[in-house]
Chain A
Amino acid sequence: MIFKFTITGRDEEVVQFEKELLDILQKITGNQGMLAYEIHFCVHEAILNVIQHTYKWDLERPIDIRIDAKRVNASTQELEISIKDYGNKIDKEINPPSQINLFQLRKRGLYMIGKIMDECVIKPQKKGGNITYMNKLLINEK
């Protein structure tokens, strides 16, 4: 299953997208406690990161979101999420920090994504812009 969205940073678009996102994630993850909410949180943080740091609160600029859920075997799915922006490309790839100071503010969102998802990386694109890529294996233990 592949889902594609293009939104801007305007409140109403983010709100509408995040409602649909939660719906999709709940269907994909099934009855796995808070997993849908945790992944939803990661997508929210990645979008907030783009709006805040790449677009500097220019709420009219586009953000492409792609969600791909692939079945690996009978009990496992792989969820891949890509969030593409069209801002200035970053100098080099950014990975979530593995540790942060208890009172540190910067990079806390990325740190949290790193704790929830199996993989997360922000990659600059050759032609400009960046992609935030995240993935997670969803194992149904039933």
Chain B
Amino acid sequence: MDGRLGIKVDINKDKIAIVKIAGEFTVFYQDFDLLYKELIAYTKIGIFRFILNLDGLSYIDSSGIGVILRLATAASKQSLKICVICEQPRILKILGISNVDKIVQFVKDIEEGINYYQS
């Protein structure tokens, strides 16, 4: 663990949250709580369509997985899936071991994610 945790969120005109998470996605960083609260806050104002770009992540643990699961759960209650962009083998491996790969929609880029929600 030596990379800070960073987040950038854009909400597009169709109320899709495009979220880029970079660094190490673990509760060991102080910013984790802020990130968690910010993302959950979107679900409380009715945003359930997320495109999470995880390509900037260098590490994820079960606490980071937990945030993805909470978003996926909120989306699932609206009969939606969250979209994930990730081509990093180490992160993909962890998503696979945690079974998160079974409940999210993998997309190759933001455009494919937007198309997924519009189809």
Q: Contact between B99 and A100 (Cβ–Cβ < 8 Å)? A: yes
Contacts of A19 in B (CB 8 A): 1-2
Does B69 count as interface, using CB distance less than 8 angstroms? Answer: yes
Contacts of A103 in B (CB 8 A): 69, 72-73, 76, 103
Which residues between 88 and 142 of chain A lie within 8 Å of chain B, taking CB atoms? Answer: 100, 102-103, 105, 108-109, 111-112, 115-116
Does B102 count as interface, using CB distance less than 8 angstroms? Answer: yes
Residues of B within 8 A of A (CB): 1-2, 26-29, 61-63, 65-66, 69-70, 72-73, 76, 89-90, 93-94, 97-99, 102-103
Task: Give Cα A44 to B98, complex, Å.
Answer: 15
**Is chain A's binding surface mostly helix, strand, loop or mixed?**
helix
Q: Which one of B62, B72, B99 has the greatest number of beta carbons of chain A within 10 Å?
A: B62
Contacts of A1 in B (CB 8 A): none
Q: Contact between A109 and B62 (Cβ–Cβ < 8 Å)? A: yes
Residues of A within 8 A of B (CB): 11, 14-15, 18-19, 34, 37-38, 41, 44-45, 48, 52, 100, 102-103, 105, 108-109, 111-112, 115-116
Using known A-B contacts A103-B69, A109-B62, determine if residue A48 contacts B27 with beta carbons closer than 8 Å: yes
Task: Give Cα A105 to B2, complex, Å.
Answer: 26
* Shortest Cβ distance from A37 into B: residue: B90
Shortest C-beta distance, A55 to chain B (Å), equals 14
Contacts of B63 in A (CB 8 A): 48
Q: Contact between B89 and A34 (Cβ–Cβ < 8 Å)? A: yes
Q: Contact between B99 and A102 (Cβ–Cβ < 8 Å)? A: yes
Contacts of A105 in B (CB 8 A): 66, 69-70
Contacts of A11 in B (CB 8 A): 28-29
Known pairs A14-B1, A108-B65 / 15 extra A-B pairs, C-beta < 8 Å: A11-B29, A15-B1, A19-B2, A34-B89, A34-B93, A41-B61, A44-B26, A48-B26, A48-B62, A52-B27, A102-B103, A105-B66, A105-B70, A108-B66, A108-B98
